[in-house]
Structure 1
Amino acid sequence: MTKDITRGGQFIVKETKCENVFTPEDFNEEQRMMRESVKEFVDKELWPNKHRFESKDYGFTKSSMQKAGELGLLGVAVPEAYGGLGMGFVSTMLVCDYISGATGSFSTAFGAHTGIGTMPITLYGNEAQKQKYVPKLATGEWFGAYCLTEPDAGSDANSGKTKAVLSADGKYYAITGQKMWISNAGFCNLFIVFARIEDDKNITGFIVENDPSNGITLGEEEHKLGIRASSTRQVFFNETKVPVENMLSERGNGFKIAMNALNVGRIKLAAACLDSQRRIVSKSVQYANERIQFNTPISSFGAIRTKLAEMATNAYVGESASYRAAAAIEDRINQRIEEGNSHQEAELKGVEEFAIECSILKVAVSEDMQNCADEGIQIFGGMGFSEDTPMESAWRDARITRIYEGTNEINRMLAVGMLIKKAMKGHVDLIGPAMKVADELLSIPDFDVPDYSELFSEEKEIISKLKKAFLMVAGSAVQKYGPDLEKHQALLLAASDMLIEIYMAESALLRTEKIAKAKGEEAVKEEIAMAQLYLYHAVDIISLRAKEGIAALAEGDEQRMMLMGLRRFTKYTNLPNINALREIIASKLIDKNEYCF
C-alpha cells in the first residue's frame, strides 16, 4: 500500500485514513528497546532524586546530563557522522517523551541542550562548525545554551538590541548585549547567540564559546516557580570577540534560524509533557486506591473516577496527536532526502512544513499537562499541596510549558495565521472547501437518518462537520478582514481553538480505529471510550468558540444563517452517555492501578 503523505495543515480539508497515521503501537523493536532504556534511566537516576532537583541542586542536573550523554541519549537526533545515533524524528520524539517524566528541571536542561543548543549547528552549521562542535555536544562533553530573549525582545524576537560589530581587520565580531532566561547558562560550554549587525533588518546567529575572560558574565541563578534545578541566568556580553568563521549560516539569517528552532521545540515540548501526564495519572490512581475515606477507597467515588478518566483521556489524545505529527514530519524528511535534499535541507523543510501542527500540539498538550497536574493535586487532597508528594512539583513545573517556545497565545494565533498563509500560497486549498460550506448553508438539510453501524461512523461524520464549522468561521473572517485579520486577535484565538480541537479529536479517533482493526473492538473498548469522550468535549468547545466568532463577524440574516449552520455541524444523532464512557475508562485504570494505555 502506498502511503498518502499529506502537507502540513491539510488535515482541515482532507480526510485522513487510519492506515496513514503512525501510532505508539507501531513502534518498531529498536524504538521499544530505546523506550525501555530511557525509562530505566529515568527510574534509576532521576525519579529517586526528585528532591535534589527541587532543592536547586544545579550540579546534580549537570551530572545527570553527563550520564545521559554517556548513554547516547543526547545524540539521538545527531547524524552518525558527528558522533550521534542518527535516529529518525519519531525516535527523537520518543526519547524526549520518556526522558521528561520525572522532573521539569532535567527535561528543560535536556531540551535546551539537544534542541536549541545543538540543533542549530547541526542544521545550519557549515562542515567545519559541525566537525568542531557537534561531536562534543552529542556526547555531553560540552553543553549548549541558546541566547535569544532580551529584556525588550521576547515574543518579538527580531527586535533584539544585542549588537555585533566587525573588527577593523575583519577577523572577528565584537558582541555586546544582554540576554535573559537562558537555560543551561550556569554550566554550558557554548552559546548560540543572536545579534544584529549594523542596521540589518534581521538578526544574525553566532556560535560563541563560553569564556569568562572574553567579556562574558553571568547573572545569579533565577529563583523560579518551577523547574528549580534548571540553570536559568542572564548572560551579558561586553565586546565579546567571536571569530568571523563562527557566524551561523548567513548574515541576517538568525531570525529564520530562531523560528525554525522554535518549530522543532514546540513539538518536542508536547512530547516532553506526555510521560509526566502518564506518571501523574498512575500516582493518582495508586493514591486513590490506597486512600480510605468513609470505610472505602476514594477510587470508588464517582467524582474521583471522573477525574481519573478525563486525565487519562487527555494523555491518550495528546500521545496520539504527537506521534501522528512526528511521523508525518519524518515521512516528509525521508521524501525530501529521496528527492536529493541534504539531511540539513530535508529536516529543516520537513519540520517547517508542519509548523501548524507543531503549534497546535504545543498549546494542547501543555494545557492538558497543567490540568492533569492540577487534578492530581485535587485527588491527593491536602497531601497534594505538600512537598512530600510529587504533585505540587509537577504542577509548578507544568506552568512554564505554556510560556516558553512561544506563549500559548502566540502559538494559537500562529496556527491560524500560518494556515491562511499556506492557503494564499496554494499549499492548502481553503477557499474551495470554504465556498462549498457557504453553499451548503443555503441548501436544505438532509433529514435522512444515516447508518452508523460501523465503528466511529458517526464520529467521523462529526469530525467532517466540525471541519465545515471551522471553514465557515475562518472563511468569513478572511473574506471580511483580508490581510488585516491578524489585528483581530480575539477572533484568531477562537478560530485556533476550533482548529486545535479538530486535530486532537481526529488524531485520537484515527489511532483508536487503527488499533481496533488490528486487535478487535472488544480489546480496545477503553480506547474507544476515550476517543468518544474527547470528541464530545471537542464539539462543545468548538460550538462555543464558533459562536464567539460568528457574533464578531456577522449580523442579522447572515448571523442567523451561520448559527443555523453551526447547529447542523455540531449535532449528534446518537448523543453518547459520557458518564458511562468515563466509567469504562476509570474501571480499567483502577483495576490496573496505573495508566495502562
Structure 2
Amino acid sequence: MKNITRGGQFLIKETKAEDIFTPEDLTEEQKMMRDSVKEFVDREVWPNKKRFEEKDYAFTEEIMRKAGEMGLLGIAVPEEYDGLGMGFVTTMLVCDYISGATGSLATAFGAHTGIGTMPILLYGTEEQKKKYVPKLATGEWFGAYCLTEPGAGSDANSGKTKAVLSEDGKHYLISGQKMWISNAGFANLFIVFARIKDDKYITGFIVENDSSNGITFGEEEHKLGIHSSSTRQVFFSDTKVPVENMLSERGNGFKIAMNALNVGRIKLAGACLDAQRRVITEAVKYATDRVQFKTPISQFGAIKSKIAEMATAAYVGESAVYRAAKDIENRIEIRQSEGDSHQEAELKGVEEYAIECSILKVAASEDCQNCTDEGIQILGGMGFSADTPMESAWRDARISRIYEGTNEINRMLSVGMLIKKAMKGHVDLLGPAMAVKDELMGIPDFDTPDYSELFAEEKEIIGKLKKAFLMIAGAGVQKYGPELEEHQQLLMAASDILIEIYMAESAILRTEKNAKRFGKENQKEQIAMAKLNLFHAVEKINSKGKEGIASFTEGDEQRMMLMGLKRFTKYANLPNIVTLRNTIAEKVSAENKYCF
C-alpha cells in the first residue's frame, strides 16, 4: 500500500512523487469513460451552445435525459440502486469532461448528481434509497437542493423554513421560501432543509414535487451566466411530507448540508478544468489564424505569455484535483476494508480531505475566471462578441466563485479546519511551528546545496514555503488562540499561502513522477509549467506573508518574522520566466490546442 497522507498533512509531511495519482495514471477503463463523455459533449452540447445562451431550459433537460440514458448520472451510485458504482476518480473524470462546454449543463449535472442525489445515498435509510435513488441515477427523475433562503446563504443554519408535525403524527407540514434553487423548473424531487420547533439545527427532508401539495415556484431568474440552468424560488405552504421522508435524524440537516458541500467543492474544481481546456484551445486556434503586421499573433511575446499562463493554470489544477480525488478514493477503500458501510466510508473519506476540497474550489474557480478573461483578451473585439464562445464562458465562470460556499468562506474554512485538526491531534502543527521558530533564532545554513537532480531546488523551496505558513499561522494561533477566526484578513492571507503550497506541490510531484517514467525531454513543457507556477507561488506567498505579518506583529518580532519570510521565499537560481513561458506557448501553438 502506498504511503497515503491524511487530510491537511501535506503541510507537515513530505509527499513522494510515486505516492500521488496523476491524470497519466488513468486506467484504460477510465480513459474510455473520459473519451465517451467528451464525444457526447462534442456531439450534443458544444454545437448547440447558442441554445443554452437563449435560455432553452427544455434543451438542458433533454441533454440531462440523454446523459441519464448513458449512465452518466449514476456514475457514483452503487449498482444495487441502478448506478454504475464507479470509484471517486472516475466520478471526478465524468464531472470534469461533461462540464466544459457550458456552465448551464455543468450546473444542472452538478446539482442533480451531487447535492440532489448524494444526500439520499449517504444519509438515507435503505427504504429511501431503494425508492428514490434508482430514479435519480437513471435520469427518470431529477433532483434539486433547497437550502438557501433570502436570509440564509453562507450562514446555512439560520434558515426560517419550518416543519411542523401534524396532529396525527404522520406528516410534517413544511412552510417557507427557498431561493437560487438549481433545477427547480424540472425537478421531481427536492432535498429540503427546515427547522422543527426551536431546534438548534435544521433537519433534512425528501420532498416529492407535487403542485397540489402546496409547492409553487417563482419565475426563472435572469442571471449573468448559466442562462439555461433553471434557477427559481420555491415556496412551500403546509407541504405534507411523510415522517418517513425525514433524511437522517432530526437536527442533522446542518451536518448533511456541510458534508454535501465538501463533495460539491472538489466536484466544482473538477468542473472548472475542461472549461479551461476548451477556452485555451479556442484562444490558440484564433491566435494562430489571426495575422497582424504580417505575423500570426500567437508569435507575439505578449500573446505567448497569456497562452503559457492559461495552460499552466489548467495543468496545475488538473494535477491537484486528481491528486486529491485519488486520496479520497484510497481513504474510502481503506474504510470499507475496515468494515465501514459504503455510506460511512464515502462520508468519512470526503470529510477527511475537506481542507483540500476548499483549497481546490478556490484555486480552480479563480483560475477558470482568469482563463476566460484572457481568452476574451486574445480574441480582442471578437472575444467580446456573443458570436464566439469566450463571452459566454466568461459569464458562466463567474458563478463558480460563489457556488458551494463563496471563495472568501472557503479561504477561511481551509485554515480554520486545519487549526481544528491540529487541536484534535490529527495534524501536528504545533511541533513543526515551534521547530520553525527555533530555526529562525539559530544560525542559517550557508552550505551550497546540490541541485543536480530534477526539481531539487523547487522541492526545497516548497519545504521552505511550508515553513513560512507554519511561522505565520503558528504565531497567529499563539497570539489569538480560538479568537483567530475573528481576524478574517489574517486568515485570508494565511489561506492564500496554503492554497499556493498545495497547488505548486501537486504540479511538481505530478511532473517529477512523469519525468521519471517518460523521460525529461518528453516532459519538457510540463517541467516549465511546474517551474513557472512555483515562481508565481513564491511571489504571492512573499506578498501575502508580509500582509499577514504586518497585521499582528511589531518591533523585534516583526523584524524576525520578515527576515524569516525573506529566507523562506528566496531562490538560489531564479528561473528565466520568459524562456519558460515561450517553451510552453510554442508547444501549445504547435499542437493548436491544450495538449497536456
Q: Deviations 1:542-586 (Å, cap 9, x if unpaired)?
A: 000010111112111111111111111000000000100001000
Partner of 1:163: 162
CA distance in 2, matches of 1:26, 1:10: 23
Task: Identify unmatched segments of 5+ residues in structure 2.
Answer: none
CA distance in 1, matches of 2:100, 2:194: 35
Partner of 1:110: 109
Partner of 1:99: 98
Query: How do 1:400-479 and structure 2 match up within 5 A?
Result: 400-479=399-478
Partner of 2:283: 284
Secondary structure at the residue paired with 1:164? strand
Partner of 2:20: 21
Q: Deviations 1:24-49 (Å, cap 9, x if unpaired)?
A: 00000110000000001000000000
1:226 and 2:218 are equivalent in the alignment:
no
Secondary structure at the residue paired with 1:521? coil
- Give the superposition deviation at 1:268: 0.1
CA distance in 1, matches of 2:513, 2:278: 25
Query: How do 1:522-541 and structure 2 match up within 5 A?
Result: 522-541=521-540
Secondary structure at the residue paired with 2:151? coil
The one-letter code matched in structure 1 to 2:360 is: L
The one-letter code matched in structure 2 to 1:356 is: I
CA distance in 1, matches of 2:286, 2:35: 25
- Give the superposition deviation at 1:5: 1.3
- Give the superposition deviation at 1:449: 1.2
Partner of 1:578: 577
1:45 and 2:47 are equivalent in the alignment:
no
Partner of 1:494: 493
CA distance in 2, matches of 1:386, 1:553: 47
Query: How do 1:71-82 and structure 2 match up within 5 A?
Result: 71-82=70-81
CA distance in 1, matches of 2:291, 2:544: 41
CA distance in 2, matches of 1:341, 1:326: 19
The one-letter code matched in structure 1 to 2:179 is: M
CA distance in 2, matches of 1:549, 1:385: 38
Partner of 1:339: 338
- Give the superposition deviation at 1:393: 0.2
Structure 1, 442-451 or 208-217: larger mean CA deviation: 442-451
CA distance in 1, matches of 2:553, 2:490: 12
Residues 145 and 188, structure 1, Cα contact 8 Å, conserved in 2 = yes
Query: How do 1:378-393 and structure 2 match up within 5 A?
Result: 378-393=377-392
- Give the superposition deviation at 1:286: 0.3
Partner of 2:298: 299
1:596 and 2:564 are equivalent in the alignment:
no
The one-letter code matched in structure 1 to 2:591 is: K
Residues 158 and 202, structure 1, Cα contact 8 Å, conserved in 2 = yes
- Give the superposition deviation at 1:447: 1.1
Residues 274 and 318, structure 1, Cα contact 8 Å, conserved in 2 = yes
The one-letter code matched in structure 2 to 1:292 is: V
CA distance in 1, matches of 2:480, 2:256: 31
1:250 and 2:254 are equivalent in the alignment:
no
Q: How large is the RMSD of aligned CA atoms in angstroms?
A: 0.4
CA distance in 2, matches of 1:441, 1:561: 7
Task: Identify unmatched segments of 5+ residues in structure 1.
Answer: none
CA distance in 1, matches of 2:368, 2:233: 28
1:558 and 2:546 are equivalent in the alignment:
no
- Give the superposition deviation at 1:374: 0.1
Residues 175 and 237, structure 1, Cα contact 8 Å, conserved in 2 = yes
The one-letter code matched in structure 2 to 1:102 is: A
How many residue pairs align between the two structures? 596
- Give the superposition deviation at 1:161: 0.3
Partner of 1:366: 365
Residues 476 and 553, structure 1, Cα contact 8 Å, conserved in 2 = no
1:70 and 2:42 are equivalent in the alignment:
no
Q: Percent identity?
A: 79
- Give the superposition deviation at 1:259: 0.1
Secondary structure at the residue paired with 1:421? helix
The one-letter code matched in structure 2 to 1:77 is: A
Partner of 2:328: 329
Secondary structure at the residue paired with 1:206? strand
CA distance in 1, matches of 2:295, 2:573: 35
- Give the superposition deviation at 1:371: 0.1
Q: Deviations 1:357-398 (Å, cap 9, x if unpaired)?
A: 000000000000000000000000000000110000000000
Partner of 1:567: 566
Partner of 1:270: 269
The one-letter code matched in structure 2 to 1:494 is: A
The one-letter code matched in structure 2 to 1:203 is: I
TM-score, structure 2 as length reference: 1.00
CA distance in 2, matches of 1:262, 1:144: 16
Q: Which segments of structure 1 move beyond 2 Å, counting only runs of 4 or more?
A: none
Residues 164 and 174, structure 1, Cα contact 8 Å, conserved in 2 = yes
Query: How do 1:107-256 and structure 2 match up within 5 A?
Result: 107-256=106-255
- Give the superposition deviation at 1:448: 1.4
- Give the superposition deviation at 1:6: 1.4
- Give the superposition deviation at 1:9: 0.3
CA distance in 2, matches of 1:588, 1:552: 43
Q: Deviations 1:248-275 (Å, cap 9, x if unpaired)?
A: 0000000000000000000000000000
CA distance in 1, matches of 2:560, 2:295: 53
Structure 1, 550-559 or 215-224: larger mean CA deviation: 550-559
CA distance in 1, matches of 2:519, 2:32: 26
The one-letter code matched in structure 2 to 1:514 is: K
Secondary structure at the residue paired with 2:240? strand
CA distance in 2, matches of 1:237, 1:270: 32
Secondary structure at the residue paired with 1:309? helix
CA distance in 2, matches of 1:593, 1:517: 27
The one-letter code matched in structure 1 to 2:256 is: I
The one-letter code matched in structure 1 to 2:464 is: K
CA distance in 2, matches of 1:395, 1:164: 40
